Amino acid sequence: MKPILWITCKLPEEIVEPLKSWADVREWPTVEVNMPHEKLEEIIQEADILWTIMDNRVSRELLQTAKNLKLICNLAVGYNNIDVEAAKELGIAVTNTPGVLTETTADLAFTLMLITARRIIEAADEVRNGDWTYWGVNHLAGRDVHGATLGIIGMGRIGEALAQRAKGFNMEVLYHNRRRKPQAEEAYGFSYRELDALLQESDYVVVLTPMTPETKGLIGKRELQLMKNTSILINVARGGIVQEDALYDALKNGEIWAAGTDVFVQEPVSTSHPLLTLKNFVALPHIGSATLRTRKEMMEMNIESMHDYLEGNPIRHRVV
């Protein structure tokens, strides 16, 4: 009997079709709406392999209801949507997609710095809405990225890729990380700072740390107040790392100059979210790794893990 592979979102036909030679493939049918949690509760009971996306909340309670589940492949490098400790205890392997999305996500982080600093969304909207009525000396004037100081919180692969881009813009790069990276410091000239010092010195603070119990709510009122009132905060990691109410206050009160984020506590974010009322806030819909090539490579990586499991080989890209 073929193992049951449940795919919780609609993936391209050319990816799914070949899987049918070895799996009994069951998939969520539409792209417009992702699988609701109630459906996940139902299908987890029959799946041998579960192919998840970060919208799926795979808690300990949910995992305990799984009867045959042996492998979860998460279509993301982050896996905070899955209780990996519980999975480990229950003998369920979990895999992710590190590496292949590094450069693409660094591109997006740098893009978000540029568009937030140069007020690109406001500017483009002005043209499109017919509001471009004059040229003014400080009209839509933003902040320079080149030559500024970039502070990266979480210096993993994506952080290093972002820092290399920053070097091309003659930026000074500071970083804060759980572990210092002397080799990268020497090779690329990055400087380590304690979190408070990084916040105080940087013109751009980019959050790239994974979401863990330690980083949840890491950037709140106190941290935002440490930042310069000319500085810009960028978050392309996970929504809950930056406290959204504190960010709203800091932007509204001019404690920081602007912010750009690709991630929210609740995704998709509600259009009535207070942050969306602010002109100095740029919002993107979690598209860090969204290029055609990278998404294909992420899917292929998940499939490699499935093949390893099937063939009884050590499972590549395994988290637990």
CB atoms < 10 A from the CB of 91, how many? 9
Label each residue of 2-22 as H, E or C: CCEEEECCCCCHHHHHHHHHC
Q: By CB under 6 A, is residue 206 in contact with ligand DGY?
A: no
Q: Give me the 52-91 binding string for ligand DGY, x by CB under 6 A, dash otherwise.
A: --x---------------------xxx-------------
- DSSP 3-state of 215: coil
Cβ distance to ligand DGY smaller for residue 78 or 151: 78
Q: Give yes or no: 286 in active site.
A: yes
Residue 124, amino acid: A
Q: By CB under 6 A, is residue 289 in contact with ligand DGY?
A: yes
Q: Strand 204-207 vs strand 232-235: parallel, antiparallel, or unpaired?
A: parallel
Q: By CB under 6 A, is residue 306 in contact with ligand DGY?
A: no
Q: Give me the 89-128 binding string for ligand DGY, x by CB under 6 A, dash otherwise.
A: ------------x---------------------------
Q: Give me the 36-55 binding string for ligand DGY, x by CB under 6 A, dash otherwise.
A: ------------------x-
**Residue ranges in 232-261 that form contacts with ligand DGY under rule CB under 6 A:** none
Q: Which token pair is 320? A: 């637990």
Are 208 and 158 a contacting pair, CB within 8 Å?
yes
Question: Could you give the CA distance from residue 254 to residue 76 in angstroms, rounded to a whole number?
Answer: 35
Counting every residue written for the chain, the total comes to: 320
Q: Give yes or no: 267 in active site.
A: yes
Q: Which of 288, 301, 302, 308 binds ligand DGY (CB under 6 A)?
A: 288
Residue among 119, 165, 176, 238 flagged as catalytic: 238
Q: Give yes or no: 176 in active site.
A: no
Would you report the helix, strand and coil content of the chain in percent, each value rounded to 5? 40, 15, 45
Catalytic residue positions, numbered: 238, 267, 286
Instruction: List interacting residues with ligand DGY (CB under 6 A).
Output: 54, 76-78, 101, 288-289
